[in-house]
């Protein structure tokens, strides 16, 4: 009997990465990928009907409002997708005995700490995106207990648009880069996050709750950009200039490195962030 898995937000970078890795490569898993156009999770009536007509063992929720800057102005839109819709999805999963795997963020923290954040640390978002994602977490917990909430950080992949694909395109144009040094976090590859999600499913893990997942190590966005440039021998790295901070609508946590100890008890395959970046940049270049 195949394990049936619904993936919402299929057109986002994580949804596309899960499809790349597993859509045609898994005998025991049957994936169904739906984009917002095919299933808008903020439409409660359609969502309810969809779950009544279809049966799933797991739902991986990759649907999210991810524009941190725009969320400061479009607060209602951010909360509609990241909170309200997540509550509807949790309700549908609960009613149909579907295990929910939901992707959350390091931005639920205020960044005032100077040691990695664990799952039990107090949440205190400092921007509307973080507030909306935290509200989504709370609504899941309110509806049922069979869920995995995975908080991750600084996600990137070969699929635009993210920090890596943006920097790679600017390097190819031989552009000067000005990158902030004021935030510390951990760049995390969608490939590695997808592998962790896959592990939760195939291992039939039932230790539900909140997990932190990122690569090993930490970096500023400036460090991140420099490591990307290492893959381009012709590019003059002195063209990458550090800047303390840049003007933005949204305040961002100064420090959002995550403690992965809980995750490492059930999964032992996290890499150093630099190795993962090199792998993804290599893939981008070979695809071009």
pLDDT tens-digit profile of 50-68?
999 999 999 999 999 999 9
Residue 166 pLDDT class (50, 70, 90 cuts): very high
Evaluate whether 199 touches 267 at the Cβ level (below 8 Å). yes
pLDDT of residue 109: 98
Q: Is residue 171 part of a domain?
A: no
Q: Is residue 130 part of a domain?
A: yes
CA distances from 198 to 144, 216, 285 (A): 22, 19, 26
Q: Is residue 143 part of a domain?
A: yes
CA distances from 187 to 91, 155, 215, 236, 255 (A): 32, 6, 7, 23, 13
Residue 210 pLDDT class (50, 70, 90 cuts): very high
Residues of the chain with pLDDT > 90, as a percent, come to 97
What stretches of 35-184 show up as alpha helix (H) in DSSP? 44-53, 68-71, 75-79, 85-95, 128-143, 163-172
Q: Is residue 33 part of a domain?
A: yes
Helix axes of 190-202 and 273-287: crossing angle, nearest 10 degrees:
110
pLDDT of residue 121: 98
| Whether pLDDT at 246 is above 90 | no
Count of structural domains within the chain? 1
Q: Is residue 222 part of a domain?
A: no
Q: Is residue 192 part of a domain?
A: yes
* CATH number of the domain that residue 96 is part of: 3.40.50.720
pLDDT tens for each residue of 149-159: 999 999 999 99
Q: Is residue 117 part of a domain?
A: yes
Q: Is residue 277 part of a domain?
A: no
| Whether pLDDT at 76 is above 90 | yes
- Residue 45 CB partners (closer than 8 Å, separation 6+): none
| Whether pLDDT at 205 is above 90 | yes
* SS3 call for 108: helix
Residue 245 pLDDT class (50, 70, 90 cuts): confident
In angstroms, rounded to a whole number, what is the distance separating the alpha carbons of residues 280 and 57?
30
pTM here is: 0.97
Burial of 275 (0-12, 13-18, 19+ CB in 10 A): middle
Give mean pLDDT, residues 201-227: 98
Give mean pLDDT, residues 44-54: 98
In angstroms, rounded to a whole number, what is the distance separating the alpha carbons of residues 97 and 105?
25
Q: Which domain holds residue 94?
A: 3-155+188-214+257-270
The set of long-range contacts for 72-77, using a CB threshold of 8 Å and a minimum separation of 24, is 72/127, 72/128, 72/249, 72/250, 73/249, 75/128, 75/132
């Amino acid at each position: 009997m195949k394990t049936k898995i619904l993936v919402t937000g299929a057109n986002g970078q994580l949804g596309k990465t899960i499809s790349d890795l597993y859509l045609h490569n898994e005998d025991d898993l049957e994936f169904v990928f739906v984009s917002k156009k095919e299933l808008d999770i903020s439409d409660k009536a359609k969502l309810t009907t969809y779950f009544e007509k279809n049966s799933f063992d797991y739902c991986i929720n990759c649907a999210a409002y991810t524009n941190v800057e725009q969320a400061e102005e479009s607060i209602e839109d951010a909360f509609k997708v990241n909170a309200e819709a997540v509550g509807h999805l949790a309700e549908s999963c609960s009613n149909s005995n579907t295990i929910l795997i939901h992707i959350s963020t390091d931005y639920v923290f205020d960044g005032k700490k100077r040691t990695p954040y664990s799952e039990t640390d107090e949440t205190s978002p400092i921007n509307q995106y973080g507030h909306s994602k935290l509200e989504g977490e709370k609504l899941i917990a309110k509806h049922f207990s069979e869920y995995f909430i995975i908080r991750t950080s600084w996600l990137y992949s070969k699929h635009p648009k993210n920090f890596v694909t943006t920097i790679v395109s600017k390097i190819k144009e031989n552009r000067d880069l000005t990158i902030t040094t004021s935030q510390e976090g951990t760049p995390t590859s969608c490939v590695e996050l997808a592998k962790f999600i896959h592990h939760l499913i195939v291992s039939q893990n039932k230790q539900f709750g909140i997990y932190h997942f990122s690569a090993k190590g930490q970096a500023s966005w400036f460090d991140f950009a420099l490591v990307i440039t290492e893959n381009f021998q012709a590019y003059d790295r002195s063209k990458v200039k550090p800047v303390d901070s840049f003007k933005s609508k949204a305040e961002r946590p100064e420090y959002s490195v995550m403690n992965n100890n809980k995750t490492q008890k059930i999964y032992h395959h996290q890499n150093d962030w630099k190795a993962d970046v090199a792998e993804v940049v290599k893939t981008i270049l070979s695809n071009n």
